[in-house]
Amino acid sequence: MKKIAQIALLLLATLSMVKAQESPKEEDFYKIITPPIPEGIILEVGGLITLPNGSLGISTRRGEVWIVDNPTSRTPYFRKFATGLHEILGLAYKDGFLYCAQRGELTKLIDKNGDGKADIYETVHAWALSGHYHEYSFGPKVAPDGSFFVSGNVAFGDEEWWRGESRVPGRGWIFRITPDGKYEPYATGVRSPAGISMIKGELWYTDNQGDWMGTGGIFPVKKGGFMGHPAGLKWAESPNSPVKLTEKQFFGERDNRQERDANNRAIKPENTRNETPQFLYQLKEKYDMVQLPAVWLPYGVHGVSTAELIMDETNGDFGPFTGQVFVGDQGQSNIMRVVLEKVKGEYQGASIGFRSGFQSGVLRMTFAKDGSMFVGETNRGWGSAGDANQGLQRLVWNGKMPFEMYTVKAMPDGFEIEFTLPVDRKSAEDLDSYKVSSYLYKHYPVYGSPQIDTKDVTVKGVKLSEDGKKVRIVLDGMRQYFVHKIQLEGVRAAGNYWSLVHPDAYYTLNNIPDGEKLKVSELKTTRSGKVKATVTAPVKEHVSPDGKGKEPAPASTKTATAKKAPTWEEVKPLLAKNTCLACHATDKKVVGPSYIDVAKRKYSDAKIVELIYAPKPENWPDYATPMPAMPQVSKGDALKIAAWINSLSKK
């Protein structure tokens, strides 16, 4: 009995040691706090700003403006400042006054008698609306010269809901309102520009996946710039337009708008498999006003509905990332960290995961006076991974240092990664600790794009700095304009042997820097064979008919039947690869219905496959965001997914 007790104690001690050595997670460094909100207040945050006195300004999609005094205390005080406005999706402060972007105007809110409520709602400028529900207006953001920037969503097409249209001036544009209230078109090519931002006095915006937008992206904006979506080019030849690209140039020989529209309507998702791939960088090489994103965000991995950008200016109160940028995502209820640099005069950089688990869709963020981050949330009509319809939450750093990639910088022969903590030398000098691949997105009129032309990139060697905080990864096969997925599954922290909280970085390589390359004699090239970095299976490709590029292999024309339904472990990589998990979960509603709810419909496997390629939104009237066609899903993957979904009905 005594020996059994000793063995039990030894096992408990061993389990305790294993638990102590487990790598910390996001929540071990950044805590989500939900402040008390008085009963009856529904925020649905559309705008969020920290005022000079530390109070919080909140605008809502329901047309209200709230001021929250002492927002970081246990008893914040909420007071309604303005009401009766139209879907306020942004809030700004200038010279003692609040300004908001309603759907159709920039409004100045004035508290004339000093009672804490707005008495005067002054129209600074009103812009055109067609009345389409998707014509959201985002902003304003205050420029260094005191003017305001606003971005305008496109409307959707009558025949294809996903096809963006600019029915009135300003839709598909970023425009400027001068201090004296004059309207100036500034740049176009935007689709759903929910995150317009000023970073160090420079204008930025984020866009969302859709037609002509293969995935979400983060773009710097220059006057006269074109970011890729052609709807706004309808107004490019207006007298006050700074954009010099025309519809005729964009669509080539299609110089007749009616003919162009007819052609576009004929481009159905299922008919695009054999198109010649066209990438946004090819358009930039022809027209210098085309602006590439500084960062492409991997769809379904780092979000599905890109929201606002903010820069950390807390001087360390929010952790080690001062000067870096954070971007929220409304659909996946999470926040990513973005590391930017300029190479050959253009911005580029990496997206790295940061914090997930918010109660609703992350739309707006602002830093409080104490360095914590307030997060404004909403999901009504848009859907989100977080179950709540709305929310205001606060993200607080606990002072502990996470083991993360601090920066990722492009080098002439690879990348240099700096860490927040010194790394374990043996793991960092093992080439099997690394996995790099590259891919790109199509630029075409279908809703979204799969990852195109995915290739593994050979890691030739690494060089670790003396202090163990930087590693140079030398690669064979870097590709300009491509996203490079850098995986560090095997790298460990010195001492505690932690793995990275976020081991993956997605670097958009718009330019490869000039400079000296490392010599082979400087590199470590050993492989242990023990570390196996995981990589999402690449999309199968074939050479396009003209031989100029690659695209997803067409679906097989052969019919197939599943002998046995695949398991969750077998189907999960397929769902992840095809971005299905961005909008669906097994047992709960996200943007779309749960897979269990789909199984309850008792569709045949063949019917589910048919609905993957040609969804019928009318089948799910309770979901405001219709599912787009998914032509990139191979027939084999679709059949396996369908068989797995139907297997859920038996459980």
Q: Is the pLDDT of residue 577 over 70?
A: no
Q: Is the pLDDT of residue 96 over 60?
A: yes
Q: What pLDDT sits at residue 137?
A: 97
- Average pLDDT (614-632) is 77
Please report, for the domain that includes residue 385, its CATH number: 2.120.10
584 in a known ligand binding site: yes
Q: Is the pLDDT of residue 268 over 50?
A: no
Residues 642 and 514 in one domain: no
- Average pLDDT (101-127) is 96
Least confident of 125-134, 248-257, 617-626: 248-257
Which percentage of the chain shows pLDDT scores above 90? 71
Q: Is the pLDDT of residue 120 over 90?
A: yes
**39-389-603-633 Cα dihedral, nearest 10 degrees:** -170
Which of 9-13, 111-115, 257-261 ranks highest by mean pLDDT?
111-115
Residues 80 and 221 in one domain: yes
Residues 511 and 618 in one domain: no
Range of the domain at 155: 41-258+278-294+359-397
Q: Read off the pLDDT of residues 151-181 as tens digits, 9 standing for 90 and up.
A: 999 999 877 777 999 999 999 999 999 999 9
In terms of pLDDT, which residue wins out, 274 or 519?
A: 519
Please report, for the domain that includes residue 642, its CATH number: 1.10.760.10
- Average pLDDT (593-607) is 91
In a domain, 161, yes or no: yes
Residues 242 and 194 in one domain: yes
In a domain, 78, yes or no: yes
Q: Is the pLDDT of residue 473 over 60?
A: yes
Residues 492 and 578 in one domain: no
Alpha helices (runs of H) in 335-483, residue ranges in sequence order: 425-428
- Average pLDDT (329-348) is 96
| Assigned token pair, 174 | 């970023």
- Count the domains in the chain: 3
In a domain, 385, yes or no: yes
Q: What pLDDT sits at residue 534?
A: 43
Q: What pLDDT sits at residue 624?
A: 65
User: Can you tell me the distance from the alpha carbon of 70 to that of 47, in angstroms, rounded to the nearest whole number?
Assistant: 18
- Average pLDDT (42-54) is 97
In a domain, 127, yes or no: yes
Predicted confidence band of residue 75 (pLDDT cuts 50, 70, 90)? very high
Q: Is the pLDDT of residue 382 over 60?
A: yes
Residues 460 and 381 in one domain: no
Q: Is the pLDDT of residue 489 over 60?
A: yes
Q: What pLDDT sits at residue 554?
A: 39
In terms of pLDDT, which residue wins out, 561 or 564?
A: 564
Q: What pLDDT sits at residue 21?
A: 54
In a domain, 457, yes or no: yes
User: Can you tell me the distance from the alpha carbon of 317 to that of 415, in angstroms, rounded to the nearest whole number?
Assistant: 29
| Assigned token pair, 61 | 């999609």
User: Can you tell me the distance from the alpha carbon of 478 to that of 460, in angstroms, rounded to the nearest whole number?
Assistant: 12
Least confident of 10-14, 106-110, 422-426: 10-14
| Prior bond of 140 cis (ω within 30°) | yes
Contact status, residue 230 vs residue 189, Cβ threshold 8 Å: yes
Q: What pLDDT sits at residue 263?
A: 41
In terms of pLDDT, which residue wins out, 441 or 264?
A: 441
Residue type, 164: G
Cβ atoms within 10 Å, residue 358: 24
Q: Read off the pLDDT of residues 536-555 as tens digits, 9 standing for 90 and up.
A: 333 333 333 333 333 344 33
DSSP 423: B
Q: Is the pLDDT of residue 15 over 60?
A: no
627 in a known ligand binding site: yes
Contact status, residue 384 vs residue 623, Cβ threshold 8 Å: no
Contact status, residue 373 vs residue 367, Cβ threshold 8 Å: yes
Q: Read off the pLDDT of residues 181-232 as tens digits, 9 standing for 90 and up.
A: 999 999 999 999 999 999 999 999 999 999 999 999 999 999 999 999 999 9
* Of 45, 32, 4, nearest in space to 382 by CA: 45
Furthest CA-CA distance within the chain: 93
- Average pLDDT (366-384) is 94
Residues 239 and 118 in one domain: yes
In a domain, 530, yes or no: no
100 in a known ligand binding site: no
The residue among 522, 556, 588 that closes a domain is 522
In a domain, 47, yes or no: yes
The residue among 347, 380, 397 that closes a domain is 397
The residue among 345, 380, 397 that closes a domain is 397
Give residue 491's Cα distance to chain centre: 26
Residue with tokens 């952790």: 319
- Average pLDDT (423-443) is 97
Residues 384 and 412 in one domain: no
- Average pLDDT (413-440) is 97
- Average pLDDT (623-645) is 81
Give residue 643's Cα distance to chain centre: 30
Residues 409 and 383 in one domain: no
Please report, for the domain that includes residue 494, its CATH number: 2.60.40.1220
Q: What pLDDT sits at residue 536?
A: 39
User: Can you tell me the distance from the alpha carbon of 326 to that of 278, in angstroms, rounded to the nearest whole number?
Assistant: 30
- Average pLDDT (627-641) is 81
Residues 129 and 48 in one domain: yes
Q: Is the pLDDT of residue 11 over 70?
A: no
Q: What pLDDT sits at residue 548?
A: 36
Residue type, 274: N
Residues 364 and 409 in one domain: no
In terms of pLDDT, which residue wins out, 568 or 563?
A: 568
| pTM of the predicted model as reported, rounded to 2 decimal places | 0.84
DSSP 290: B
User: Can you tell me the distance from the alpha carbon of 311 to that of 464, in angstroms, rounded to the nearest whole number?
Assistant: 29
Q: Is the pLDDT of residue 563 over 70?
A: no
In a domain, 13, yes or no: no
Computed over every residue of the chain, the mean pLDDT equals: 87
Residues 196 and 131 in one domain: yes
Q: Is the pLDDT of residue 80 over 50?
A: yes
User: Could you write out the three-class secondary structure of 558-580?
Assistant: CCCCCCCCCCHHHHHHHHHHCCH
| Assigned token pair, 183 | 């309207």
